[in-house]
Amino acid sequence: MSLTHEERRQTILSQLSAEGKVQVHALAALFNVSTETIRRDLDRLEKEGKLRKVYGGAVQTRSEWIEPTFLKRSQMHYAEKQSIGKLAASLVKEGETILLDNGTTTLEIMRELKHRADVTVITNSVPILTCALEDFQGKVIFAGGEVSKNCQAATDAIAHQLLEQFKVNKAFISAGGISIVDGVTDYHLEEALVSRKMMQRTEETIVVADHSKFGVTTFAHIAPLEQISMIVTDPGCSPEWIEALNRLDVEVLIGSGDDPS
């Protein structure tokens, strides 16, 4: 394979996005170039902030492991999150009980469900609970305990014990990152454990995540992709990701972002 630097650059970044790491000798063999050429490519990408060099290769930059505040996250990719929330809410059938974990995208689902008197929502999220108490027509159950000020959610043993009492139709899980190798991850271990518990108490797990989460691995593991039924995302999700997820029998739905009004 004879490629220019720019072509090698795009391939390296694509592989890094999918797998979280690259190896010098494997890339040299793939491109049929010397290891010195690959190291120069990685040097340039590191200076651009695209990766971090390690012994024998490179990994994703760790800047993605630092989660912004809830308020800042709610403003990031807001239009995409709205479209995801609208599509995800449309999947909820009459009479169903659903779980919403703590996230800015699951918050958009709650906003879209406000007129659904036929739905029961169970959540550990204070922002989602607050939204539901404002104008939600259905039933809301708070899986509470001690509330973490940092996470703005209940994540302690009491929350886990309460969740154990339920069996629901669908769980909508937010994500800090989605990776082929590392699966669905979150920034905080305590939130990841609650999301994992929700997955154990549902018939169907649906991950809601905008396109910026793909190819990212954050601190705490929630679940491998094989345990996910569906991912709802936005048009920024690449065809390569959709194809890779479909190969794992994960259905991908794309929110249009169009305002029907």
- CATH number assigned to the domain with residue range 70-254, chosen from the 4 options 3.50.50.60, 3.40.50.1360, 3.40.50.720, 3.40.50.2300: 3.40.50.1360
DSSP state of 61: -
The residue with tokens 């989460």 is: 213
User: Which pLDDT score is estimated for 2?
Assistant: 61
Comparing 107-111, 226-230, 234-238, the range with the smallest average pLDDT is 234-238
How many Cβ atoms from other residues are within 10 Å of residue 22's Cβ? 25
pLDDT at 135 over 80: yes
pLDDT at 123 over 70: yes
Question: What number is the average pLDDT over the span 25-42?
Answer: 93
Q: Sheet holding 230-233: strands in order across?
A: 139-142, 120-123, 97-100, 168-174, 202-208, 230-233, 251-254
pLDDT in tens, 189-214: 999 999 999 999 999 999 999 998 99
User: Which pLDDT score is estimated for 193?
Assistant: 96
pLDDT at 261 over 50: no
pLDDT in tens, 231-248: 999 999 989 899 999 999
> Angle at CA 168, nearest 5°, toward 178 and 96?
105
Question: Any residues with CB less than 8 A from the CB of 105 and at least 6 apart, and which?
Answer: 81, 84, 85, 174, 208, 209, 210
User: Which pLDDT score is estimated for 149?
Assistant: 83
Radius of gyration of the chain from Cα atoms?
20
User: Which pLDDT score is estimated for 170?
Assistant: 98
What are the phi and psi torsion angles at 248 (to 5°)?
A: -95, 10
Question: What number is the average pLDDT over the span 178-184?
Answer: 90
What are the phi and psi torsion angles at 251 (to 5°)?
A: -75, 140
Q: Looking at the DSSP assignment, which residues form a beta bridge with residue 76?
A: none
Higher-confidence position of 165 and 261 = 165
pLDDT, the chain, mean:
90
pTM above 0.85, yes or no: no
- Residue 258 binned pLDDT confidence (cut-offs 50, 70, 90): low
CB of 255 within 8 A of CB of 232? yes
Count of all residues that appear for the chain in the document = 261
pLDDT at 230 over 60: yes
Highest mean pLDDT among 44-58, 61-75, 214-228: 214-228
Q: Where are the domains of the chain?
A: 5-60, 70-254
Comparing 65-79, 92-106, 120-134, 213-227, the range with the smallest average pLDDT is 65-79
User: Which pLDDT score is estimated for 260?
Assistant: 40
Q: Topology of 5-60 in CATH? A: Arc Repressor Mutant, subunit A (1.10.10)
* Diameter over CA atoms, the chain: 64
SS (H, E, C) 64-125: HHCCCCHHHHHHCCHHHHHHHHHHHHHCCCCCCEEEECCCHHHHHHHHHCCCCCCCEEEECE
